[in-house]
């Protein structure tokens, strides 16, 4: 978008969001739902009919509590806040963003109050991204992770093992990187007749229907991992969207179960699959074909270690899978405190830096590398960050279950065959769309609830071996 277009888009988005909100929360919709509810009593809980009415009614009850003018105000306030944030980040000056953040917090508190909550004000916002998840549950899960991961990262940092990722750095022709990304996408099961990949500044995935799923990547000519793992990550989101049955198109069921379940798909493909030995057993020869100068003499173990290098850093989106969640804890704890009112916006940068020091042993040298790095808060997206960490947990739980049922999956991956894993995901997760809550889908797929232990085990076993701990 040309810079001049921002104001027009802000107004257009505010209008559309307000209209959509009004249409969805109209009395007429309530009447429809009241009529339909008894008609679905004879249908099974997971039938299309009962699920459609149940999920729509739940969403209706929730959205109806938010006054339309708050919806439009949120769109307008966050558009201005977004511009201010971009400017503040560029100048590494939190004060330029602070008044906007204050308005955003105030607005989010009002939205949370309109939504209502029984335990914690943050519950109301969390529920918008992660239905029925509670702040207390997140806190308890994160405490378990923190207790294991913070000392584990310290052990890695003080390990004598030196791992570098030099093999991924140098000059990698953008065309070749693009071709490699397209080849990986096709092989993991992305259907190019029902979607496409493009380039963008920030990678993302969006779906207009399961038959039109668009993902983007960015290519760094000096660092191969950036585009490749970006493509695999977004590819995980895209496979989920392409796997939703077309029979659910244009209904509220045509969506993922939640943000964390969506993120579980992208992180599974990116990390558990994409940074595994079997994956590179198949792809190293391909890499050698694409970049003979770089990989002719490189063995699989060197590559495996390079893509799994652990290095505490300032930036969340560049974090490895061991330190990634520590960045989430910082954000979760700070945003709950902002909403509770126990932390004021003006004290946020200091609080941020203190937590970074405590969890990652680093103090950001400026706000651009610290509190201003992420776009979310400028868009009033309080309650979103935890879903990234929950997605990491679910990724391990789902993958473990798939392998328990089909122990040959890693061997198949080593042969470049991802069908069995994808079929398991299709059957247990994708095909349900938004029919189930995250809790239901996790229970049905794995027989248990969301749990930090499998993730912690996965990390500790994998990286203890890599770092000789």
Interaction site with its own copies (CB under 8 A): 1-5, 7-9, 11-12, 191-196, 208-209, 211-212, 249-250
Whichever of 102 and 211 has its CB closer to its own copies, that residue is 211
Question: Exposure pattern of 275-285 as b/e (b: 16+ CB <10 Å)?
Answer: bbebbbbbbbe
| Complex with its own copies: residue 199 or 469, whichever CB lies closer | 199
Among residues 12 and 344, whose Cβ is nearest to its own copies?
Answer: 12
For residue 172, the minimal CB distance to its own copies (Å) is 21
Collapsed DSSP state (helix, strand, coil) of residue 165: coil
In the bound complex, what is the minimum distance in angstroms from residue 2's beta carbon to its own copies? 5
CB of 10 to its own copies, least distance (A): 11
Q: How far is the CB of 263 from its own copies (least distance, A)?
A: 24
Given CA atoms 255, 106, 368, 72 in this order, what sign does their dihedral have?
A: positive
Shortest distance, position 212 Cβ to its own copies, whole Å: 3
**DSSP letter assigned to residue 65:** T
The answer to whether 334 and 351 are in contact (CB under 8 A) is yes
Among residues 134 and 196, whose Cβ is nearest to its own copies? 196
Nearest residue (CB) to its own copies, 8 versus 461: 8
Q: Please, where are the H alpha helices in 92-160?
A: 98-115, 121-129, 135-157
Residue 397 is encoded by which pair of tokens? 């739980």
Of residues 207 and 372, the one with the C-beta less far from its own copies? 207
Q: Give me the torsion for CA of 240, 246, 249, 254, rounded to 10°.
A: -30
Annotated active-site residue 49? The verdict is no
Torsions phi, psi for 205 (to 5 deg): -130, 140
Q: Least distance in Å: CB of 57 to its own copies?
A: 22
Q: How far apart are the first and last CA of the chain?
A: 49
Q: State the catalytic residue, choosing from 18, 130, 234, 241.
A: 234
Q: Residue 418 half-sphere exposure, CB side, CA atoms within 13 Å?
A: 27
Q: What φ, ψ does residue 209 adopt, rounded to 5°?
A: -175, 165
- Calculate the CA 186 to chain-centre distance: 22
Give the integer Cα–Cα distance in Å for 277 and 281. 6
Q: Which is nearer to its own copies, 242 or 392 (CB)?
A: 242
Cα–Cα distance measured from residue 269 to residue 91, given in angstroms and rounded to the nearest whole number: 36
Output the smallest distance, CB 242 to its own copies, in A.
Answer: 9
Query: How far is it, in rounded angstroms, from Cα 188 to Cα 183?
Result: 9
Closer residue to its own copies (CB): 41 or 198 = 198
What 39-48 contacts at long range (C-beta under 8 Å, 24+ apart), as own/partner pairs, is 46/432, 46/435, 46/436, 48/247, 48/248, 48/253
Enumerate the β-bridge partners of residue 215.
197, 205
Q: What is the DSSP letter of 207?
A: E
Task: Tell me 92's DSSP state.
Answer: T
- Please report how close the Cβ of residue 38 comes to its own copies at its closest, in angstroms: 28
Task: Determine the distance from the C-alpha atom of residue 309 to the mean position of all C-alpha atoms in its chain, rounded to a whole number.
Answer: 21
| H-helix segments, 195-291 | 224-242, 259-267, 277-290
Q: Which residue numbers are catalytic? A: 234
């Amino acid at each position: 978008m040309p810079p001049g277009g921002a104001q027009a888009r802000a107004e257009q988005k505010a209008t559309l969001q307000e209209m959509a909100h009004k249409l969805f929360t109209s009395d007429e919709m309530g009447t429809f739902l009241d009529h339909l509810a008894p008609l679905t009593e004879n249908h099974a809980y997971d039938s299309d009919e009962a699920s459609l009415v149940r999920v729509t009614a739940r969403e209706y009850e929730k959205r109806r509590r938010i006054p339309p003018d708050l919806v439009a105000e949120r769109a307008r306030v966050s558009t201005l806040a977004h511009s201010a944030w971009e400017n503040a980040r560029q100048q590494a000056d939190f004060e330029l963003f602070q008044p906007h953040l204050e308005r955003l917090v105030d607005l989010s508190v009002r939205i949370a109050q309109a939504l209502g909550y029984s335990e914690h004000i943050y519950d109301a916002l969390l529920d918008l991204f992660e239905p029925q998840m509670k702040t207390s549950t997140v806190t308890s899960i994160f405490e378990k992770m923190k207790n294991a991961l913070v000392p584990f990262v310290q052990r890695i940092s003080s390990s004598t093992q030196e791992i570098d990722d030099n093999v991924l750095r140098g000059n990698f022709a953008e065309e070749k990187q693009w071709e490699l990304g397209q080849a990986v996408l096709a092989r993991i099961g992305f259907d190019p007749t029902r979607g496409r990949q493009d380039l963008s500044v920030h990678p993302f995935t969006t779906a207009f229907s399961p038959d039109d799923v668009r993902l983007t990547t960015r290519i760094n000519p000096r660092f191969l991992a950036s585009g490749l793992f970006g493509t695999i990550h977004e590819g995980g989101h895209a496979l989920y969207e392409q796997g939703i049955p077309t029979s659910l198109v244009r209904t509220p069921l045509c969506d993922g179960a939640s943000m964390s379940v969506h993120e579980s798909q992208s992180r599974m493909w990116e990390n558990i699959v994409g940074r595994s030995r079997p994956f590179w057993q198949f792809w190293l020869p391909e890499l050698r074909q694409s970049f003979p100068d770089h990989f002719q003499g490189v063995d699989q173990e060197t590559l495996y270690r390079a893509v799994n290098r652990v290095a505490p850093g300032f930036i969340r989106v560049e974090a490895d899978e061991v330190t990634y969640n520590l960045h989430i804890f910082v954000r979760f704890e700070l945003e709950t405190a902002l909403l509770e009112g126990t932390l004021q916006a003006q004290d946020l940068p200091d609080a941020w830096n203190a937590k970074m020091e405590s969890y990652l042993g680093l103090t950001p040298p400026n706000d651009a590398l610290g509190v201003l790095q992420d776009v979310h808060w400028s868009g009033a997206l309080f309650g979103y960050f935890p879903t990234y960490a929950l997605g990491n947990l679910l990724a391990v739980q789902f993958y473990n279950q798939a392998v328990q049922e089909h122990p040959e999956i890693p061997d198949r991956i080593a042969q470049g065959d991802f069908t069995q894993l994808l079929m398991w995901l299709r059957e247990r997760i994708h095909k349900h769309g938004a029919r189930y809550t995250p809790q239901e889908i996790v229970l049905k797929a794995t027989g248990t609830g969301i749990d930090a232990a499998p993730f912690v085990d996965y990390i500790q076993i994998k990286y203890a071996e890599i770092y000789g701990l």
